[in-house]
Structure 1
Amino acid sequence: MATLARKQRFPFPDMQDWFEAIPSKFSMPALRIEDYTEGDRYVMRAELPGIAAEDIDVVISDGVLTVEAERTERDIDKNHNEIRYGAVSRSVTLPPGADEDDVQADYTDGMLTVSVGLGAEKAEAKHIEIRHGD
């Protein structure tokens, strides 16, 4: 018995090229991170290649660590451009016991590393007895 092979064909073969041709001003760059616990510290690392340290802002508030950065476009004529420009932001929730007063940040070779000390764990939930009238 003969088996018929049917070749799947994408109905719009140029669509991928079309999306890549959209100017970078319309596409949102991604801020890629990794986070982990190392000893008694929470560590978050973020890729920020080509961004000056003075264009990076690290903020901690109410148990949330936020990194904001911006890569500005050079004002020159370009023959070809694949570099993404614009502002990026990423927020992560800190683990329980994070000490917002014990924070260190380092930016080397396009990699931002922020570490936060982990103090004592927060107290466990307390169950409260409910009084009711007779």
Structure 2
Amino acid sequence: MADLSKWAPSDMLEPVRRFLDGDLTMASSIKVEQFQDGNTLVVRAEVPGIDPDRDVDVSVSGGMLHIRAEREEKSEHKSKDGYRSEFRYGSFTRSVALPPGAKEEDITASYKDGVLEVRAPAPAAAPAGETSKKIRVDRG
């Protein structure tokens, strides 16, 4: 049985803090935003503490952009009364539909200050051969 007399009250509240911060799993701890910047789809993922060369995979298939990241986070707390080590790890995946006409060779990805940014430009007009069709909305 663990000797709880060496734990500080703040140590016991750490899991509660993580729960309130929404940090129970890898997926909930990574924040993602997606928006249009002109004709460019921009997807940003908050992934601090990763090595983009080793821990991130960005790919395209079937008109979809796929982002996969893995992270391992370690923390150590040393005091005169004891030692506590904690680590969290997991993977995160996200798939986003590419804008019509986006080409794989035009997609760029960058990583700065803990944020992965993927930019997928698309032509201003729909590619030749693609037409717009109005969809009727039926009342139920």
Q: TM-score, normalised by structure 1?
A: 0.63
| Residues 29, 85 of structure 1: 8 Å contact kept | no
From the two aligned structures, give the one with the greater helix fraction. 2
From the two aligned structures, give the one with the greater strand fraction. 2
**Cα deviation per residue 1:43-84 (whole Å; 9 max; x = unaligned)?**
111111111112111011111111111113559786264x64
- Unpaired runs of at least 5, structure 1: 1-15, 127-134
Give the CA RMSD over aligned residues: 3.1
Percent of aligned pairs sharing the same letter: 39
Query: What is the CA–CA distance in structure 1 between the aligned matches of 2:121 and 2:72, rounded to whole Å?
Result: 33
- 1:121 paired with 2:119, answer no
Structure label with greater radius of gyration: 1
Query: What is the CA–CA distance in structure 2 between the aligned matches of 1:91 and 1:125, rounded to whole Å?
Result: 24
Q: Displacement, 1:39?
A: 2.3
Number of positions where the alignment pairs a residue of Structure 1 with one of Structure 2:
105
1:51-130 maps to which residues of 2 (within 5 A)? 51-54=50-53, 55-74=55-74, 79=84, 81=86, 84-119=88-123, 120-122=125-127, 123-124=130-131
Q: Displacement, 1:28?
A: 4.5
Which moved further from structure 2: 110-119 or 67-76?
67-76
Alignment partner, residue 13 of structure 1:
none
Query: What is the CA–CA distance in structure 2 between the aligned matches of 1:93 and 1:29, rounded to whole Å?
Result: 19
